[in-house]
Chain A
């Protein structure tokens, strides 16, 4: 599924993607294309890319790549797939009731969920908000557990 979207494997690529996406929401999916949940998410992303193309651009980031490790550490990515949102090179957070507000962990249940989330974040960003509330009902938010510094 990953061939449908742009896959970034270098830090410079991610950098330039973040820097050159202006007034559009950037969706970065961290994961690997062999993982089944990633495949599920990629499917949703690729299907909605065209519909969202006016206000969002989507890129995949390969977590196995050596040169990406800086970002893996910086973004505290411990579970894949993790989806991080950026707007004008600013990180966009979302309060989804889970432990991690900084990213979306796991796949979306359906395409519309993803579109809703992207739309909500974009709207928030256009109003100057750095954090938004998740528009999805809690039963459609994947559950996970975070461990603080491997404790």
Chain B
């Protein structure tokens, strides 16, 4: 008897608290959705919001495009120079790691092996589960073991080939060395200029951080000092030896720092050489008048739409409208390669109203052509007259006489 009453008592208390705790959990448990880049407290519900769905699809397609680059290398592996390796890295959004290419001799080698790894698959699956991308798409974001095996085979064969072609590699090597040497020279000069070129003790800020540059001038005993140095001299104003030791220390520090800047600038200067990557880009670019890459094959019609819209805006009665439309079509065809370019006649002339012409503009062209041909005809006649002098001149014989002669 007691138990039910207890339960009765306990139930009304418990139920609301549970409910409260549930709602509290719902309201309070904020989590970060890395697809939407948003903190939310909606739990799993969030995955079905249109904004999330939209950003998820764009998120995945972005990674897909990145992957397509990698897949390119998967299909035809290409060797990569070690100094370019640091450019050739990619961020795996599922595993949240930066896959670098240090120590790999082929483009995206580490990336490919990462994409085929079990870790990646695990992370990918958990991502898909958490953000709702659809488990059936998992294979689109990883590389299968079979592909990896094929790739490795290709790599090995490439390496063997490369060994025979290694005579080519040193050609590129020295140029890099020269590049670096030149730069080091420049830094060295800078080094020297520190001591020689700034007599006022004013130093240009090389590192824009608040590093204390130790400036020292042996010929100016009470010259410009760094903060730390001033402190020291305040403490022991008469002691020259400590000051000197400070100077030496400062000098050493300075040298070291410059060595550091050397190293960092050496890293910085390697920003050049993009050509090896660019060479693989498709047939056309901006300069050759190819449509931009974001107008893909499917969106090629967008260009046409733009053109058509512009067409309709122009006055249909404008000068040469018909001709312009026809010519535009022709040019379009020529660009597409459907028509051979420049099919027009070498003697083509535009309509032109000549100065002393009274008729239409076409007439003036006709007349000009007639005059031109006449002239050339006359020139020909002059030439022919020389030839005709060689022809036999025969006396005129009347028709009747000829007939009589024949009879």
Give which listed residue, B319, B327, B349, contacts A74 with CB less than 8 A: B349
B324 near A128 (CB under 8 angstroms)? no
Contacts of A130 in B (CB 8 A): 319, 353, 361
B331 near A128 (CB under 8 angstroms)? no
B318 near A74 (CB under 8 angstroms)? no
CA distance A20 to B324 in the complex (A): 9
Which A-chain residue is minimally distant from B342 (CB atoms)? A16
Contacts of A126 in B (CB 8 A): 314-315, 318-319
Q: Quick check: is A30 within 8 A (CB to CB) of the other chain?
A: no
Binds B, one of A39-47, A58-66, A82-90, A137-145: A82-90
What is the distance, in angstroms, from B138's C-beta to the closest C-beta of chain A?
A: 52
B317 near A100 (CB under 8 angstroms)? no
- Size of the B side of the interface (Cβ < 8 Å), in residues, is 28
A89 near B354 (CB under 8 angstroms)? no
Interface residues of chain A: helix, strand, loop or mixed (majority): mixed
For window 124-151 of A, CB contacts with B under 8 Å fall at 124-130, 146, 148-149
Contacts of B349 in A (CB 8 A): 70, 74
CA distance A76 to B349 in the complex (A): 14
A92 near B327 (CB under 8 angstroms)? no
CA distance A87 to B327 in the complex (A): 13
Contacts of B352 in A (CB 8 A): 74-75, 91, 102
Give which listed residue, A86, A87, A88, A148, contacts B356 with CB less than 8 A: A148
B348 near A92 (CB under 8 angstroms)? no
Write out, one digit per residue, whether chain B residues 359-385 have a CB within 8 A of any chain A CB (1) or not (0): 001000100100010000000000000
Which B-chain residue is minimally distant from A125 (CB atoms)? B319
B327 near A22 (CB under 8 angstroms)? yes
Contacts of A100 in B (CB 8 A): 355
Contacts of B320 in A (CB 8 A): 87-90, 125
Q: Quick check: is B328 within 8 A (CB to CB) of the other chain?
A: yes
B344 near A19 (CB under 8 angstroms)? yes
Which A-chain residue is minimally distant from B316 (CB atoms)? A128
What is the distance, in angstroms, from A39's C-beta to the closest C-beta of chain B?
A: 25
Which A-chain residue is minimally distant from B318 (CB atoms)? A126
CA distance A16 to B344 in the complex (A): 9
Q: Quick check: is B350 within 8 A (CB to CB) of the other chain?
A: yes
CA distance A88 to B350 in the complex (A): 10
B317 near A23 (CB under 8 angstroms)? no
Give which listed residue, B323, B344, B361, B368, contacts A91 with CB less than 8 A: B361
Contacts of B328 in A (CB 8 A): 22
Which A-chain residue is minimally distant from B371 (CB atoms)? A73
Q: Quick check: is A18 within 8 A (CB to CB) of the other chain?
A: yes
A88 near B355 (CB under 8 angstroms)? no
Q: Quick check: is A29 within 8 A (CB to CB) of the other chain?
A: no
Q: Quick check: is B1 within 8 A (CB to CB) of the other chain?
A: no
What is the distance, in angstroms, from A115's C-beta to the closest C-beta of chain B?
A: 20
A102 near B315 (CB under 8 angstroms)? no
CA distance A77 to B354 in the complex (A): 10
Q: Quick check: is B346 within 8 A (CB to CB) of the other chain?
A: yes
Q: Quick check: is B351 within 8 A (CB to CB) of the other chain?
A: yes
B353 near A102 (CB under 8 angstroms)? yes
Which B-chain residue is minimally distant from A93 (CB atoms)? B353
Q: Quick check: is A35 within 8 A (CB to CB) of the other chain?
A: no
A88-B318, A125-B318, A126-B315 known; A22+B353 contact, CB < 8 A: no
Q: Quick check: is B339 within 8 A (CB to CB) of the other chain?
A: no
What is the distance, in angstroms, from B186's C-beta to the closest C-beta of chain A?
A: 34
CA distance A24 to B348 in the complex (A): 20
For window 9-29 of A, CB contacts with B under 8 Å fall at 11-12, 15-16, 18-20, 22-23
Can you list the 10 inter-chain pairs with the closest CB atoms, starting with the nearest? A88-B320, A128-B317, A125-B319, A90-B320, A91-B352, A88-B324, A76-B355, A126-B318, A22-B324, A87-B319
28 pairs, CB–CB < 8 Å, chain A vs chain B: A12-B342, A12-B346, A15-B348, A16-B342, A18-B350, A23-B318, A70-B372, A73-B368, A74-B352, A74-B365, A75-B354, A88-B320, A88-B324, A89-B323, A90-B351, A90-B361, A91-B351, A91-B361, A92-B319, A93-B353, A101-B353, A101-B355, A102-B353, A102-B354, A128-B317, A130-B319, A130-B361, A148-B356
